[in-house]
Structure 1
Amino acid sequence: MRFSMATRPGFGRDHNPLRRRSDRIQAYSGLAAVVLVIVVLPVALFAGWRTWQHFSVISDQELATRQLVTATVAAGDPQTRIARNHLATVTWTYPDQVAHSGHLAVPGSTLPGDLVPVWVDEAGEMTTAPMTRLNVWLDAIGIGVGLMLAALAVGGLGYQGTRSVLNRHRARELDEEWRRLNGFSMNA
């Protein structure tokens, strides 16, 4: 079965007097949007995979160098109450049996002498919690999905913008043609 140019609206160089140049431009604009999304798909997959690789290495390093220790709340500062938390001075010993201290946001009900978990680095200094595998996966998926959404947005907005400009152009041409048919001149 052969397909004629008439079955593919907007594409080809047929001699249909009803198919305008603007129709072809709109069709090619839609095709360009689809091609953009198709081209970006492997790029998004690759970027997500590389993000996963990169953050997996960081996560492994952080998990190997950070420890969760138990710290004792030495004193709380109710003046620093933030929502339901407040800053408290906490103390802990790790790994060289040297006492360390720092400030940590603890629940408002925490009293001096209570035990709280604290992440520390190899030197025993307070640090952030290590990146988890869930964080690694969420970042990788976020990069890939974000790139795809950006491609969809660019393609869709490009197509809609082109279509809008062409519709205004077609409306202007139609008005001009009606005026000519009714004996009015646009330049008079």
Structure 2
Amino acid sequence: MAARPGLGRERNPLRRRSDRIQGYCALGAVFLVLAVLPVAVIIGLQTWHHYSAISDQELASSHLVTATVVAADPETRLARNYLAEVSWTYPDRVEHSGHLAITQTTQVGDRVPVWVNDSGSMTSAPTTRLSVWLDTLGLGLGLTFAAVLVGLAGYRASRFVLNRRRTHDLEVEWRRFNESRSQGYLN
């Protein structure tokens, strides 16, 4: 008899109940992943809008100025950099100074770029659009990957339990079969 489409409700003696349950578990894992995709997109879009607003705010209040290396301290050597004292003049005509990690090739008197806030104080570089995009992409892919892992783990766990149950049922059937055969030969 040819296979018929359907949900397995036909009475096929070779299709066990556990086979149908395993099929439903696989289908559930696929539906879980498909259900998470729109959620991942929505969360990704919300993350994009949130961090884009933060990036815009940081870009509006941060300015790139050129500072001059005043003193370099090789004693503060980090991996490939070391700390140096730098100074710059912000448009308010006030001299500012701070410490910045510079490369080993940078000498006293060299000019280096420094990010400053509206008051002229040194600040970290603003978040770029690329960084926002990569963070958003990473979050969406991470959520999807987590859903795939949960679905796969659930399916594998159900398959493990069902396989143990099938093995147990098969052993019981073989015992019954062997007992009935041995009783038939002895009589």
TM-score, normalised on structure 1? 0.88
The 8 Å contact of residues 88 and 103 in structure 1, kept in 2 or not, is answered as yes
Runs of at least 5 residues in structure 2 that lack an aligned partner in the other structure = 181-187
Amino acid aligned to 2:167: A
Among candidates 118, 121, 131, match of residue 122 of structure 1? 118
Aligned to 2:10, the other structure's residue is in SS state coil
Among candidates 161, 166, 169, match of residue 162 of structure 2? 166
Amino acid aligned to 2:4: T
**CA separation of 1:102/1:7 partners in 2, compared to 1, >3 Å: closer, same or farther?**
farther
Report the Cα distance in structure 2 between the residues aligned to 1:46 and 1:115, rounded to whole angstroms.
Answer: 45
Equivalent residue, structure 2, for 1:7: 4
- Superposition pairs for residues 18-29 of structure 1, below 5 Å? 18-29=14-25
- Superposition pairs for residues 48-87 of structure 1, below 5 Å? 48-87=44-83
Instruction: State the 1:84 CA deviation.
Output: 1.4
TM-score, normalised on structure 2? 0.89
Amino acid aligned to 2:134: L
Q: Aligned residue pairs: how many?
A: 179
| Partner deviation per Cα, 1:90-134 (whole Å, 9 max, x = no partner) | 111213222222111100121111111110111111111111111
| Partner deviation per Cα, 1:151-181 (whole Å, 9 max, x = no partner) | 1111111111111121122112212221222
Larger Rg: 2
**CA separation of 1:27/1:89 partners in 2, compared to 1, >3 Å: closer, same or farther?**
same
Aligned to 1:183, the other structure's residue is in SS state helix
Among candidates 7, 21, 26, match of residue 30 of structure 1? 26
Equivalent residue, structure 1, for 2:185: none
Identity of aligned residues (%): 60
Among candidates 98, 101, 104, match of residue 100 of structure 2? 104
RMSD value, Cα: 1.8
The 8 Å contact of residues 55 and 136 in structure 1, kept in 2 or not, is answered as yes
